[in-house]
Structure 1
Amino acid sequence: MSTVLIVAEHLNGRLNAATARCVSAAAALSPAAIDIVVLAADAATIAAQAAQIAGVRKVLAVANPANAHAIAQVQAPQVAALAGGYSHVFGPSTTFGKDLMPAVAALLGVDQVSDLMAVEGSHSFKRPIYAGNAIITVEMPAGSQVVATVRTASWPEAAAGGSATVEAASVDATLPSHTRFIGLASASSDRPDLQSARRVVSGGRGVGSEDNFKIIYHLADRLGAAVGASRAAVDAGYVPSDLQVGQTGKIIAPELYIAVGISGAIQHLTGIKDAGTIVAINKDGDAPIFEIADIGLVGDLFQVLPELEQALG
C-alpha cells in the first residue's frame, strides 16, 4: 500500500489551499496513509491548520529558524531525510513547489513527475504537454519512490473537518550555508491571491493602457476577486508579471473567471481550462476566447464594465 508525504505550502502563518488540493491527489492513490510535513520557524499554528484537512493521518511539524523562509536548498534536505518511509512525496505545482520538489527528487535520486493531473495507478499518472493540447501517461518504474508536483488546478480542495495527529519532528540533515535569505520583494495587495482565488477578473491587450487597467481593478474589488492579465497586457507594461495567467504565467482554476479584452491565445487558455465558469467580454465577436467561454458578451469593455458594476448595486 502507498504512503504519501505532502509538503505544505504556507505564507505568513496561513496554510495555502494548494496543500488541500495535494491531499485530494494523494487520496486518488487509495493510500494506507497521507501525512503532511510543515517546515517553518514556528510550525505549530500552520500544523494545526493542516491537521484539519480530512483524510490526513498525521502532520509532522518541523520547527527550525532556518525554515523561516521557503528556500528550496534549505528545505529539500529536510524533506528528503523525512521521505525515507514513504512511497510518494507530493508538493504543489506552484512557484513554491516547482522550486522545491526537483531538489527533493535529485537528493532522493529519482525522476520527478511534473504537473500530475490524474492518477491511473500507484506509478502511473497523467500530465499535460504542449500547452495542455495533449495529455500523456507517465509510467514510473514499479517499486520506485515517486516525487511529484500536483497540478492544483486539476484537483479540488480536500474537505475540512479532519483531526490528524500533530507530531513535532526533528530532522538530521546538513543544511547548506551557501544559500541564505537576503530579502523578499513582492507586491502587497488586499485582494485575494491569484493562484487560489475563487473569482478572478483578468484584462488583456484590449484594455489599452496601464491607466485604463483601473477599470479591471474596480470590478475585481466589487466582486471580491483577484486580478489577472494576459501575457500581452503584461508585455505591454499594463501590469506586473506576477499577474500573468497562462502557460508562462499562473495556472488557475477559479469558480468564476472573467476575461476582459482578452482574445484567447492558446497559451492563455492553458492557464484557465479548469476554471468553473468562464465569462468573456470582447468587442471582437470572432475572438477565440468565445469558443471556450460559458458566457460571452460582444461589446466595448468601457461601456460594458460600468454597466455591470451598476447592475451589481
Structure 2
Amino acid sequence: MSVLIIAEHNNQQLNPATLHAVTAAAKLGEVHILVAGSNAAAIAESARQINGVTKVLLADAPYYGEALAEEITPLVVKLAGDYRYIGATATAFGKNLLPRIAALLDAPQISDLTEVVDNKTFIRPIYAGNAFETVQSDAPKLVLTFRATSFDAAENGGNAQIQTVEAAPAQNLSRFVKRELTQSDRPELTQAKVVVAGGRALGSAEQFNALLMPLADIFGAAIGASRAAVDAEYAPNDAQVGQTGKVVAPQLYFAIGISGAIQHTAGMQDSKVIVAINKDPDAPIFSVSDYGIVGDLFDIVPQLTTALKS
C-alpha cells in the first residue's frame, strides 16, 4: 500500500510540519510526496532527501504558486488512483485542502490523527482533547490529516527519485489577493522548543509585552496567548494557542495568567514540561502543569526573569 502526502511549502522552503506527516504516513506503507508549486524544483529536492520517502511527484505551474486549494484539488484527484491513503498535516493548509479532495473522491476523511495503530485503525482527540476515540475504516481509499505535534519529524538522509507530473488544467475558481505575514525574530509558534504564553490576567497589551518578552528573550522562545488574551487584543491572532488556535508541544511551556479552560489546554497539553503561574490555587491549568506557582504574576514573573538572567 502507498501513501501520498501533499507537501506544504511556500515555493522557497518546505514547511517542517510535512516532516511529521511523513513519519506518520510511513506506518501505513510506501510514502510518496506531491510537491505542487511554481518554480518549486528546490522544494522537490528537499523532499527527496527525507528519510522514508521513495518518490517525489513534482507538478509545476504558475497557478500552483499560492497553494490555492481550488487549484491543487483536481491534481490530487487525478493522481489519487494509485494510492489508498491521501494525507497532509492538520494545519490550515491541510484543513482547507483535504475535505475538498475527500468529497470529490467520495472517500471518508479521518482528521487530526494523533496515532496510527494499523492500516485501518487510527486514534484522534475529541471533546477538545479531553478524550480520544479509536476509528476504524475498511474503505478502499482514506483521506487523513495528521497532528504534527504527535509525531516525530522525519530526518534527512533519503534519496528518493523525482518524477515530473503533468499539472491539471487551471480552474480559475478563486484568485490570490495578498498575504500579510507577521514579521518576527522569534521562532514560529508550532516549531518553538520553548513557548511563553499569557492570558487575560496580564491586563493590557503593554503589560503583556513588558512581562513576557524579557522572559521569552532568555530562552529564545515564541510568544503564545490564550483566546481571551487575543480577543482583548493583547496579542495577535497568530499567537493564539488552543482548540481554535494553534496546537503546540514544546519542550517547555509557560502558562502565565491563564486559567486553563478546555479550549486552551487542548492546544498545549502535550508540552513536555508545563509551568503555570496563577493567583487562583484552584485554576484548572494546575491540573495539567508539571510545576505550579500560586501568586501574583506581576511579582513572580519579574523575579523569575531576574533569577534566570543571573
TM-score, structure 2 as length reference: 0.94
Does 2:157 correspond to 1:158?
Answer: no
- Corresponding residue for 1:57? 54
Paired residue total: 308
- Which runs of structure 1 show a deviation greater than 4 angstroms over 4 or more consecutive aligned residues? none
Q: Is residue 112–residue 147 contact of structure 1 (8 Å, CA) maintained in 2? A: yes
Q: Is residue 70–residue 173 contact of structure 2 (8 Å, CA) maintained in 1? A: no
- 1:281 aligns with one of 268, 277, 281: 277
In 2, the alpha carbon distance for the partners of 1:283 and 1:79 equals 51
Q: Deviations over 1:152-201 (max 9, x none)?
A: 12111122222222222223x23311211111123222221112222211
In 1, the alpha carbon distance for the partners of 2:157 and 2:302 equals 41
Flag the 1:134–1:42 CA change in 2: closer, same or farther, 3 A.
same
Amino acid in the other structure paired with 1:124: T
In 1, the alpha carbon distance for the partners of 2:279 and 2:94 equals 38
In 2, the alpha carbon distance for the partners of 1:283 and 1:11 equals 43
In 1, the alpha carbon distance for the partners of 2:16 and 2:54 equals 18
What are the ranges of 5 or more consecutive residues in structure 2 without an aligned counterpart? none
- Corresponding residue for 2:93? 96
Amino acid in the other structure paired with 1:252: V
Deviation at 1:70, TM superposition (A): 1.6
Q: Deviations over 1:253-297 (max 9, x none)?
A: 112111111111111111112111111122222211111111222
- 2:173 aligns with one of 170, 174, 178: 178
Amino acid in the other structure paired with 2:23: S
Q: Is residue 77–residue 175 contact of structure 1 (8 Å, CA) maintained in 2? A: no
Percentage of matched positions with identical amino acids: 50
Question: Pairwise mapping of residues 288-303 of structure 1 onto structure 2 (< 5 A)?
Answer: 288-303=284-299
Does 2:199 correspond to 1:200?
Answer: no
Does 2:27 correspond to 1:28?
Answer: yes
Q: Name the SS of the counterpart of 1:34 in structure 2.
A: strand
Deviation at 1:99, TM superposition (A): 0.5
- Corresponding residue for 2:241? 245
Q: Is residue 11–residue 39 contact of structure 2 (8 Å, CA) maintained in 1? A: no
Does 2:81 correspond to 1:84?
Answer: yes
Q: Name the SS of the counterpart of 2:22 in structure 1.
A: helix
- Corresponding residue for 2:39? 42
More deviation in 218-227 or 239-248?
Answer: 218-227
In 2, the alpha carbon distance for the partners of 1:86 and 1:25 equals 16
In 1, the alpha carbon distance for the partners of 2:102 and 2:170 equals 16
Q: Name the SS of the counterpart of 2:95 in structure 1.
A: helix
Q: Is residue 40–residue 62 contact of structure 1 (8 Å, CA) maintained in 2? A: yes
In 1, the alpha carbon distance for the partners of 2:217 and 2:50 equals 29
Deviation at 1:78, TM superposition (A): 1.2
In 1, the alpha carbon distance for the partners of 2:44 and 2:193 equals 24
Does 2:1 correspond to 1:14?
Answer: no
Amino acid in the other structure paired with 2:13: R
- Corresponding residue for 1:228? 224
Amino acid in the other structure paired with 2:92: T
Instruction: Please give the root-mean-square deviation of Cα atoms over the aligned residues, in Å.
Output: 1.6
Q: Name the SS of the counterpart of 2:191 in structure 1.
A: coil
Q: Is residue 39–residue 63 contact of structure 1 (8 Å, CA) maintained in 2? A: yes
